[in-house]
Amino acid sequence: MKMKILKVAAAAVLLASFVFMGPATNPQEVQAAPAIIVYNIYATDGYQLLADGKTIYTYGYIGGRQGQSMTYLDSVTQSPVTLAAGPPAPTAGPIVVGSIEEQFQGNAQIPGPMIYARVGDIIQVNFKNLGTKNPTAPNDPHTIHMHGIDATTANDGVPETSVAAVPANAVDPVLLTPIEGAGNVIVYKLTSPVPGTYLYHCHQEPDIHVQMGMYGAMVFYNVADPAASVGPGQGLGGTYAGFKYDKDYVLELTDIDVPMHASEAGTGPLHNPVDFLPSYWTISGLSFPNTIHAAIGGTPFNWTNWILAHPGYDSFITGSPAPKLKF
């Protein structure tokens, strides 16, 4: 097994794991016309269920590939919700527009939607900030930064050097008028000439927003890879570095500083990121034993529902937690 590891901001690490099956018989990739792959992604807040039953407040993304059926988990009930028509294209406006956008608000998914395409394809991300449903949380601006991709400056998602961060849907509390720029839709366009696995995350206050859950994975495949048609974790393979692989998996390693989540929720004292002290360690947003498709005690974790809502993020190890030792 060969692993590619990328270190990123805010204590997140992305691993692309491939099961290799020997040298490729034909390392030459078949050429194909590039396509434009459209993703509709929204920023909002929500709640994340941890393996021990604790629930924490989060920020994150929700959405997916345009025209492709998607499922998300209601962040309060943990019940799956399926949209057969897929995520709608965001509508520009200073307030939440449309029933689906209202439905998405408060249901951030962690990790964010898996993004994938072939080498040479153009990924177009239509991005809107729906704002926070929690009235005591800061209604921050957000971006999408494609970490590791050689994007043009305008499409890089770093607010200081590219298109500015998108303000949340909000109105001025005194004037009761829309905040300038609120509800704007930002369109990112990018591509990659080489296959690889990358991270995307919010670059507005990244020391806080990434820790709060604003991250996801992006994969570029060789044009002839069977996995390119369905994305990671679906049991298909391809060719990488001259070798065939049978399956691919994406693992995002992160950790959680609970006081920061309480601080952002407005339910705890102000927490400085320099005092970062994690108490949970996760793989693609899950901590053990959820990572092995299992739950403990009466925790309402359902692996079938979770992976349906997070396709591509299977940690590929199944099992059961060992019973507690008695002395």
Residue 31: its pLDDT value, please?
Answer: 56
CA distances from 26 to 173, 222, 230, 239 (A): 63, 13, 22, 9
Instruction: Give the chain's mean pLDDT.
Output: 85
Assign residue 250 a region: left if phi > 0, alpha if psi is -120 to 50, beta otherwise?
beta
Burial of 262 (0-12, 13-18, 19+ CB in 10 A): middle
**For the chain, what is the total number of helices (H) and then of strands (E)?**
4, 15
Q: Based on the structure, what is the number of domains in the chain?
A: 1
- Residue 6: pLDDT band by 50, 70, 90 thresholds? very low
Q: Does residue 323 form part of some domain?
A: no
Whether the per-residue pLDDT at 39 is higher than 50: the answer is yes
pLDDT in tens, 233-270: 999 999 988 899 999 999 999 999 999 999 999 999 99
Q: Does residue 326 form part of some domain?
A: no
DSSP of 28-57, one letter per residue?
SPPP----EEEEEEEEEEEEEE-TTS-EEE
Residue 22: its pLDDT value, please?
Answer: 44
How many other C-beta atoms can be found within 10 angstroms of the C-beta atom of residue 55?
13
Whether the per-residue pLDDT at 14 is higher than 70: the answer is no
Average pLDDT over residues 194-221: 94
pLDDT in tens, 44-86: 999 999 999 999 999 999 999 999 999 999 999 999 999 999 9
The angle at the Cα of 197, spanning 86 to 27, to the nearest 5 degrees, equals 110
Q: Which residues contact 210 (CB under 8 A, 6 or more apart)?
A: 8, 9, 10, 12, 201, 202
Q: Is 101 helix (H, G, I), strand (E, B) or coil?
A: helix
Q: Does residue 104 form part of some domain?
A: yes
Q: Does residue 320 form part of some domain?
A: no
Return the structure tokens found at 109: 């998914």
Percent of the chain with pLDDT over 90: 64
Q: Which domain holds residue 295?
A: 2-309
CA 284 – CA 233 distance, rounded (Å): 12
Q: Does residue 185 form part of some domain?
A: yes
Return the structure tokens found at 269: 């004292």
Structure letter (DSSP) for residue 102 = H
Q: Does residue 324 form part of some domain?
A: no
Residue with tokens 């499409």: 155
CATH code for position 184: 2.60.40.420
Q: Does residue 318 form part of some domain?
A: no
Ranges 14-23, 25-34, 281-290, most confident: 281-290
Percent of the chain with pLDDT over 70: 83
Q: Does residue 14 form part of some domain?
A: yes
Whether the per-residue pLDDT at 111 is higher than 80: the answer is yes
